[in-house]
A and B are shown apart, each in its own frame.
Chain A
Amino acid sequence: MWAFIIRKLVYNIPVYLAIVMLLMILLRQRDPVAGMLGKNATKQDYINKRAELELDKPFLAQYGKLIWSIVTLDFSQDVWTEPGVTVGEKLRKAVPRSLALTVPALVITTVISIFIAMLSAFNRGRWIDKLLVFFAVLGMSVSFLVYIIFGQYFGAYKLQQWVGTPVFSIHGYEPGIMNWAFYMLLPVLISVIVSMGYDTRFYRAVMVEETQADYITTARAKGAPQSKVMFVHMLRNAMIPIVTRVMITLPFLVTGSILLEEFFGIPGMGYVLLSAIRNNDFPVVEGFTAVFAGLFILSIIATDILYAVFDPRVRLQ
């Protein structure tokens, strides 16, 4: 297994190098300096600023420097738009906020969708299944934006008018567990509703596949009760696709939800990233993507390993 892990890691080094290079090339299509200095800057100011940001160096030198700081896990470069703040600090502050939103959302969505999917798969073809699938498709056809806008309007604004006091925050953020429900619960609920359609359909397809398997017939023939067939026999065997799907979404937990964070004013990773792109803050975008890409590659490798753990037939090679 160790040989497998090491080989995979080595195999992904060129992938990682290419990701960083692609991102740097794309970012450098724009000139951040002119925007930072404003209209009244002289030619000399411009040259000085470029030198200060090290944008005048050859591309490969900049690339090498970034790669080196990633390899040594050194994120102490200053953010361009806020002097004195390092990229590392910025990311360290933003990540927990994003996680406070995405982790509960993922857990709730996964648990509820699996239950609904099992209900649907066991009643395959009956009205309850058709109704659930219909709602899933319906839910998938509405834009994320609309969910957020109306969720914010009814869940925060209108509710506040009806109840009299603010129940959920409309916009803003304060850290702390005590404040979590006030600031985060509504975005979490919206996120759950949005992802529910996709997840339910995926898990339903998985479960339908399993209900047709021979071992289910055997279990039924033995006289095992319905609940045991569902939760013991089937859920265990459906674990592989479920784990794969959850594993693949794990790196996205860190990136947060750009839209939800933007609407509810939660300064998590998505928010930081979007404002960094808007303000041409290259170090933040680069640091962010470097971290994400690393996590993404690691999670793909971890998925392969978990495959082997859950299914003894799978050989790592």
Chain B
Amino acid sequence: MNVIRRWMATREARKLWRNKSALLAIVVIGMYLLTALFVMAGGISRDTCDTVVGSNKLPGFFQQDTPEKRYENATTKFLTKIKRALAADDVGGALKEVNLGPYLAADQTPAQLQEIVDQVETLAAELNESPNLDNDPSMLPKLAELESVETQLKAPLSPWDQFIFNTSICLGTDSQGRSIFFRGIYSIKIAIQIGLVTALFSVALGAFLGAAAGYFGGWVDHVVVWIYTTFSSIPNLVLLVVLAYAFTNSAAKDTLLPVYIAFGATFWIGTCRVIRGETLKLKEMEYVHAAQTAGFGPLHILLRYIIPNTAHLMLINFSLLLIAAIKSEVILSYLGFGVKNQPSWGIMIRDAGNNGDVVGGFFWEIGFATVLMFGLVLAFNILSDALQDAFDPKHV
């Protein structure tokens, strides 16, 4: 606590504190972090994201589908399942197994259900005479009647289930009928997870290697510079793709491990360069000379005198790397080399692009993914700027 209190009193911290937009950015980032924690604690599971909750490409804000699609939904999905169950040998057992998203079969006798099915089919046959319901407003009342009759087949939802269902379709569904809202929120966890892990790892590795190279000089310096020149001479995206690709046959292919390794291997370079330069400057400082004269070992000097004095650079780099990781994850996932088998903003954008959402004017999926990502990246951009202003004002 004391350390934090002392830090809060420094000039830099006060400068940061006065920056209103930076404070707002911190609040926004905090909200994203809380959401990520909520998802991580099991608030939204991977199954929830993969569950079909409604017809595909349902628009958000509880708008209705086009009449043609409403007709199709009412006459196929749930109805087919009920009809199949009614035709089964063990009608009672089959009815218990009917489910569509949160909906179960209504608690009625098979005869009553059969009656409703017949009603639906009569109405459907009448509606079927219209060549295209989308251009036929006179049929709309009949369509509404069809839907209300069809609803009787479904058991009423409990208020909680109804709330969850409403939440899941509040921003519409994707091309497979899955909830855009849940998928987008779940992706926050993926983005934060990838960002934090890779940024922490890269900053730690970069700072350690950079400080060692700068302080010891000689062959240590040569080796570190040699390693990072090698890594930076391969185009970043090529290295990311090839690294991520190298794992496609391994056991870890469905985890985030390939992404971590690909980012970790490429992102430490920038930090390493900066910290090395700073260390070259710091090691000529009088307090470092004093420590050397006092007989402290090189490791002690590095950890106690040099690395703490590069902390501000590490903080700035951490923030910048988080942005880079989140943005690169989206691109890598889009290309099919990143996150697999779970939602991420890149996957959502890819789905929206590949399934003709955008061409068809359906912007809900790509829009929500973009807005969420935009908020997070913008907040981090503002925070990095404020950090840079406060701690490293001379930086170009």
Chain B residues with CB under 8 Å of A296's CB are 232-233
A166 CB to closest chain B CB (Å) equals: 15
How many B residues are at the interface, by size bracket? Answer: 35 or more
Q: Is B292 engaged at the interface, CB distance under 8 Å to the other chain?
A: no
Is chain A's binding surface mostly helix, strand, loop or mixed?
helix
Asked whether, in the complex, the Cβ of B234 is within 8 Å of the Cβ of A143, the reply is no
B79 CB to closest chain A CB (Å) equals: 36
Partner of A255, one of B238, B330, B396: B238
Q: Spot the interface stretch: A53-61, A133-141, A302-310.
A: A133-141
Q: Mark B367-396, 1 if CB is under 8 A from A, else 0.
A: 000100110011001100100000000011
Q: Mark A137-152, 1 if CB is under 8 A from B, else 0.
A: 1101111111001100
Asked whether, in the complex, the Cβ of A29 is within 8 Å of the Cβ of B246, the reply is yes
Chain A residues with CB under 8 Å of B352's CB are 149
**Cα(A142)–Cα(B377), bound, Å:** 8
Chain B residues with CB under 8 Å of A157's CB are 359
Asked whether, in the complex, the Cβ of B233 is within 8 Å of the Cβ of A293, the reply is yes
Q: Is B331 engaged at the interface, CB distance under 8 Å to the other chain?
A: yes
**Cα(A241)–Cα(B396), bound, Å:** 9
Asked whether, in the complex, the Cβ of B234 is within 8 Å of the Cβ of A289, the reply is yes
Asked whether, in the complex, the Cβ of B385 is within 8 Å of the Cβ of A258, the reply is no
Q: Is B346 engaged at the interface, CB distance under 8 Å to the other chain?
A: yes
A residues 1-40 in Cβ contact with B at 8 Å: 12, 14-16, 18-19, 22-23, 26-27, 29-31
B262 CB to closest chain A CB (Å) equals: 10
Asked whether, in the complex, the Cβ of B378 is within 8 Å of the Cβ of A137, the reply is yes
Q: Is A66 engaged at the interface, CB distance under 8 Å to the other chain?
A: no
Partner of A285, one of B231, B233, B242, B353: B242
- Known A-B contacts A19-B233, A143-B327; the reply to A27 vs B242 at CB < 8 A is yes
Chain A residues with CB under 8 Å of B396's CB are 202, 205-206, 209, 241
- Known A-B contacts A140-B381, A142-B370, A145-B334; the reply to A292 vs B395 at CB < 8 A is no
**Cα(A144)–Cα(B326), bound, Å:** 12
Q: Is A182 engaged at the interface, CB distance under 8 Å to the other chain?
A: no
Q: Is A46 engaged at the interface, CB distance under 8 Å to the other chain?
A: no
B375 CB to closest chain A CB (Å) equals: 8
- Interface residues of A, CB < 8 Å — how many? 46
**Cα(A16)–Cα(B234), bound, Å:** 10
**Cα(A273)–Cα(B240), bound, Å:** 13
**Cα(A141)–Cα(B335), bound, Å:** 20
Chain B residues with CB under 8 Å of A146's CB are 349, 366, 370
Asked whether, in the complex, the Cβ of A143 is within 8 Å of the Cβ of B381, the reply is no
Asked whether, in the complex, the Cβ of A277 is within 8 Å of the Cβ of B234, the reply is no
Chain B residues with CB under 8 Å of A19's CB are 230, 233-234
Chain A residues with CB under 8 Å of B381's CB are 137, 140-141
Asked whether, in the complex, the Cβ of A145 is within 8 Å of the Cβ of B230, the reply is no
Q: Is B219 engaged at the interface, CB distance under 8 Å to the other chain?
A: no
Additional A-B contact list (11), CB under 8 Å, known A22-B231, A205-B396: A15-B233, A16-B233, A19-B230, A143-B330, A143-B345, A143-B370, A145-B331, A153-B359, A252-B235, A277-B242, A292-B233
- Residue numbers of B with Cβ under 8 A of A are 226, 229-235, 237-238, 241-243, 245-250, 327, 330-331, 334-335, 345-346, 349, 352-353, 358-359, 366, 370, 373-374, 377-378, 381-382, 385, 395-396
- Residue numbers of A with Cβ under 8 A of B are 12, 14-16, 18-19, 22-23, 26-27, 29-31, 137-138, 140-146, 149-150, 153, 157, 202, 205-206, 209, 241, 252, 255, 258-259, 262, 273-274, 277, 285, 288-289, 292-293, 296-297
7 of the cross-chain contacts (CB-CB < 8 Å) are A27-B246, A29-B250, A30-B249, A141-B378, A146-B349, A150-B358, A285-B242
